[in-house]
Amino acid sequence: MASISKKEFGRLSNGSLVYSYTLENRAGAKATIITYGARIQSFLVPDKEGNFRDIVLGFDTAKGYEEETFYMGAIVGPHANRIQNAEFTINNTTYYLECNDGANHTNSLHSGSTGFHNKIWGAEINNGKLLMYQFRPDGEGGFPGTLTAQVTYDLTEDNALKIDYQVTCDSDTICNMTNHSYFNLNGIGGGTILNHKLQILADSLTESDAEALPNGKIYQAEGTPMDFRQLTPIGERIDDDFQQLIWGAGYDHNWILSGPVKDGLRQAAFAVSEESGITLSVYTDMPGMQFYSGNFLDGTPGKKDIPCKRRSGFALETQYFPNSPMHPEFPQPVLKRGNTWNSTTIFKAGLAE
């Protein structure tokens, strides 16, 4: 069972106080979560020399998180990723969301400015776990229903950071929550992630258009630069002359997970840095995962004032497929009134053999 300590992290521009909670296991690994956006602020794990490295990009101040635009470490919801034309229909009623993405800002991304990444979450410690709470009133951001979300963080003795989601709503709505941490297994200031090797346990992907919106088509990874079924350097094919990569300025796509299921979860990905020896395994019960190679990180100063440069971190966002409300053939992120949406994602750090 992890020990958990609490302290003040800082204040937002409106004066709201942000707290941090640090979970520490007996091996000395630590994960710090802040109440602003329920974000993973740091994840300290041992490298091959036994030194601890922080493998999550982020900021040392509340102001840094308030001003950034990359959702660093955040719990994203109530609906993560993109929805075309910022609208969806449930029970023959169409709901209109905030338009904040796309060439003409006609689409919805990560639930807009009122999304959970911009909220101060309630928090309590319970039996070595950190429970965090958020509430969305009916109509906020355009979404129907009064929604209550609980996210539980648990750091295990084998350096797995487990995230459990539990969501209810008093009306039929959509729900697709994820965590948007950026990882660099070399640690803060560790350069680009192009030499990291990555495996994604998926045979196929959803095809995206120029605005990163799945168009309903599915294609096979084999024979394309999107094939990560075998451990492959992230930078090996990232700039290939392949339309999906050109539109995304690199990897920013949804893989359809196909690994074997064990105890309700399947392994989605495995990453390793040969420099540090640190590995990261991702497990989930969701059908898809967005791999984003940090193509639009712009050098904003992060922890220790080290710039978060282009491709200095990668995100592995477990999810329903983006734009699913526009494609009924995809698994649907519909949460029915009276039901509870439960989901689990695990980020497990380790060492290369």
pLDDT in tens, 58-69: 999 999 999 999
Q: Is the pLDDT of residue 279 over 90?
A: yes
* Amino acid symbol at 322: P
CA distance 249 to 337: 39
Percent of the chain whose predicted confidence (pLDDT) is above 70:
100
3-state secondary structure (DSSP) of residue 64: helix
Q: Is the pLDDT of residue 1 over 90?
A: no
CA distance 115 to 82: 13
Strand ranges for 193-306 from DSSP E:
197-200, 202-208, 214-220, 232-233, 252-257, 261-262, 265-272, 278-284, 288-292, 300-301
Structure confidence at residue 174 as a pLDDT band (50, 70, 90): very high
CA distance 306 to 117: 23
> Would residue 222 show up in a list of annotated catalytic residues for this protein?
no
pLDDT in tens, 177-227: 999 999 999 999 999 999 999 999 999 999 999 999 999 999 999 999 999
Least Cα distance to 174 among 312, 328, 297, 302 occurs for 328
Least Cα distance to 29 among 139, 197, 119, 157 occurs for 157
Query: Which listed residue (79, 117, 180, 327) is catalytic?
Result: 180
Cis peptide before 307 (omega within 30 of 0): no
> Would residue 180 show up in a list of annotated catalytic residues for this protein?
yes
Q: Is the pLDDT of residue 104 over 90?
A: no
Return phi, psi of residue 267, to 5°.
-75, 130
User: CA–CA distance from 250 to each of 106, 280, 292, 310, 326 (Å)?
Assistant: 22, 21, 8, 11, 24
CA distance 157 to 228: 29
Arithmetic mean of pLDDT, 337-342: 97
Owner of token pair 């995809």: 330
Q: Is the pLDDT of residue 121 over 90?
A: yes
Which pLDDT score is estimated for 353?
Answer: 87
Which pLDDT score is estimated for 247?
Answer: 96
Long-range pairs of 128-131 with CB within 8 A, sequence gap ≥ 24? 128/1, 128/2, 128/3, 128/4, 128/154, 129/2, 129/153, 129/154, 130/4, 130/21, 130/23, 130/33, 130/154
Percent of the chain whose predicted confidence (pLDDT) is above 90:
98
Query: Which listed residue (117, 253, 317, 327) is catalytic?
Result: 317
Q: Is the pLDDT of residue 103 over 90?
A: no
pLDDT in tens, 242-261: 999 999 999 999 999 999 99
Which pLDDT score is estimated for 28?
Answer: 97
Which pLDDT score is estimated for 226?
Answer: 98
User: CA–CA distance from 164 to each of 117, 129, 149, 176, 333 (Å)?
Assistant: 17, 11, 11, 13, 17
Boundaries of every domain in the chain: 3-351
pTM above 0.85, yes or no: yes
- CA torsion angle 196 204 71 53 (round to 10): -20
3-351 carries CATH number 2.60.40.10 = no
Arithmetic mean of pLDDT, 38-48: 98
